[in-house]
């Protein structure tokens, strides 16, 4: 049985197709989780949850994407959710011997000085790349992303129809993406 055919049959609740997909991709997903968790039991549990969730939501699978990638994405998200749940249960609260004293251990999520420097450097590079665009593209990116104006407000500011604003913004983003990925162009 080929993968595309198995997916179509699975969408029609064919048990043999589910088994085929499970057998085909089990080792890929299990090994992916084993590398992440470094624990065989956790890797197996997450792999089981992955296939369970994938088979429940098989109708939402878009065949433009590789099925294995879709499964790995589901698996990764399940693992992230489990890690978050585990961390929040640890960080929620701790009791000392005297129950009157409650200590809340809340993680500090504020950016470190290193994070701030990296963000500033990235912003400086982005601004430099934006300056390579034609002025009307620079203006529309500035209005949308730096001044955070809505399409309607940009339309009024530029005295252009909303559809023109959307198309210009889309074009500006594509040109900016080309500049960022090919800085020598």
Structural domains of the chain sorted by starting position, each given as residue range(s) with its CATH number in brackets? 3-91 (1.10.1740.10), 113-181 (1.10.10.10)
Per-residue model confidence as pLDDT tens digits over 76-102: 999 999 888 887 776 655 444 455 556
Contacts of 53 (CB under 8 A, 6+ apart): 74, 78
Q: What is the pLDDT at residue 95? A: 45
Region 108-125: what's the mean pLDDT? 79
- Say whether 94 sits in a helix, a strand or coil: strand
Per-residue pLDDT averaged across 151-155, rounded?
A: 91
- On the question of pLDDT at 170 being above 50, the answer is yes
Give 111's DSSP letter.
Answer: P
| pLDDT exceeds cutoff 80 at 25 | yes
| pLDDT in the model for residue 96 | 44
Phi/psi at 100 (nearest 5 deg)? -75, -25
Say whether pLDDT at 14 is over 70: yes
Per-residue pLDDT at 130 exceeds 50: yes
Q: Which DSSP helix (H) or strand (E) runs through 102?
A: strand 102-103
């Amino acid at each position: 049985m080929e993968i595309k055919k198995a997916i179509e049959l699975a969408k029609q609740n064919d048990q043999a197709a589910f088994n085929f997909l499970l057998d085909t991709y089990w080792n890929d997903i299990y090994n992916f989780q084993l590398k992440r968790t470094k624990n065989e039991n956790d890797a197996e549990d997450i792999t089981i949850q992955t296939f369970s969730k994938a088979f429940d939501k098989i109708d939402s699978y878009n065949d433009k994407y590789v099925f294995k990638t879709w499964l790995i994405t589901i698996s990764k998200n399940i693992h992230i959710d489990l890690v978050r749940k585990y961390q929040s249960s640890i960080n929620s609260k701790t009791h000392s011997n005297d129950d009157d004293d409650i200590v809340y251990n809340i993680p500090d999520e504020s950016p470190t000085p290193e994070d701030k420097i990296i963000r500033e450097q990235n912003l400086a590079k982005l601004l430099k790349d934006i300056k390579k665009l034609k002025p009307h593209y620079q203006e529309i990116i500035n209005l949308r992303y730096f001044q955070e104006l809505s399409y309607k407000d940009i339309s009024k500011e530029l005295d252009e129809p909303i559809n023109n604003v959307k198309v210009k913004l889309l074009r500006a983003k594509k040109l900016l993406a080309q500049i960022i990925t090919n800085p020598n162009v």
